[in-house]
Amino acid sequence: MNFNFTHRPRRLRNNPILRSLISENSLRHSDFVLPVFISEQALEPEPIPSMPEIFRWPLGLLVPQIKKWRDLGISSFAIFPQIDDSKKDLTGSEFLNPSSLTFRAALEIKSVISDVALISDIALDPYTIHGHDGILDSTGNIDNDPTVETLAKGAVLAAKSGYDLVAPSDMMDGRIKIIRNELENNNFPNIGIISYSAKYSSSYYGPFREAIGSRGDTCLDKSTYQLSTANFREAKRELLLDFQEGADILMVKPAEPCMDIIHYARNNFDVPIAAYQVSGEYSRIWAAHLQGWLDLESCAMESILSIKRAGADIIFTYFTEKLIQQI
């Protein structure tokens, strides 16, 4: 039997060439940012138990590894430090040490490799003994404005160290304007800001906190400054404020639980939109794979393509090394 159907969408799925011809989204090497963990304690690449195939890198091995990644086609890296506990305090003062690990890392990389982009995490959680992203006041709450002042000073140190972009991930009020002003006033007008504009108080950050050795681990409550996972309008407001304050790129985090936010940002702001596929998203796929329930590589690719389809121009993902060799 053969019906006279006018519309048969399967006609364009008959073979791989046609499917490729009508593909609406594709991935490029330049879409990816690889998050990289560095450590003062490690003498060799140190595995992170909750994040298979991800390591903390000692500074002495970082430059050769960046070269290997660059030769694979990875050109953008976000650097996250694991700071020795002895250097942590209530205010995260090590963040303002020009010789701190994250600044030394950028100086070493850029002294040898010029054709990569480095992104500096602007937040205090790796440096505080309590694990929060800001300075606590006398009542134990995050003191917004002193925190912003510290973040702005740290952004200037990052620029001096060779970072191409600074990425405030703290979710303090007004920090984009103050950071932009501080960069301008210190003769860094060309250093861009990639703002974690819609960063949710998510349960998916646990493996990341293990990776950087942040106190509080998965139980730390950051809901007084990160967004409620129930809210959409609140994210719209935060995106708009960061755009108005001068952010060059707007970030949504986490990625897959926030596809609606990514889509909204792409359709309403004429700046690049980034999405961070966070540690819990990565570890979730790996865990299912290790149980034999899902295929790792195909699920990783599908997840990244879905983030791209939602509207992300830039994708931070721990799958970068694995996937970039497939595209």
Active site residues: 199, 253
Residue 164 phi, psi dihedral angles, 5° rounding: -90, -30
Strand-pair partners of 82: 39
Question: Are 151 and 235 in contact, with CB atoms under 8 Å apart?
Answer: no
> 229, exposed or middle or buried, with CB in 10 Å at 0-12, 13-18, 19+?
middle
Other residues' Cβ atoms within 10 Å of the Cβ of residue 34: 21
Question: Are 166 and 122 in contact, with CB atoms under 8 Å apart?
Answer: yes
Q: Strand, helix or coil at 239? A: helix
Other residues' Cβ atoms within 10 Å of the Cβ of residue 121: 24
**Helix, strand, coil share of the chain (percent; to 5):** 45, 20, 35
Q: Strand, helix or coil at 192? A: strand
Retrieve residue 9's tokens.
């969408």
DSSP secondary structure string, 117-184? EEEEEE-STTTBSS--SS-B-TTSSB-HHHHHHHHHHHHHHHHHHT-SEEEE-S--TTHHHHHHHHHH
- What span, in angstroms and rounded, lies between the C-alpha atoms of 296 and 290? 9
What is the DSSP-derived secondary structure letter of residue 294?
S
Residue whose structure tokens are 């721990």: 318
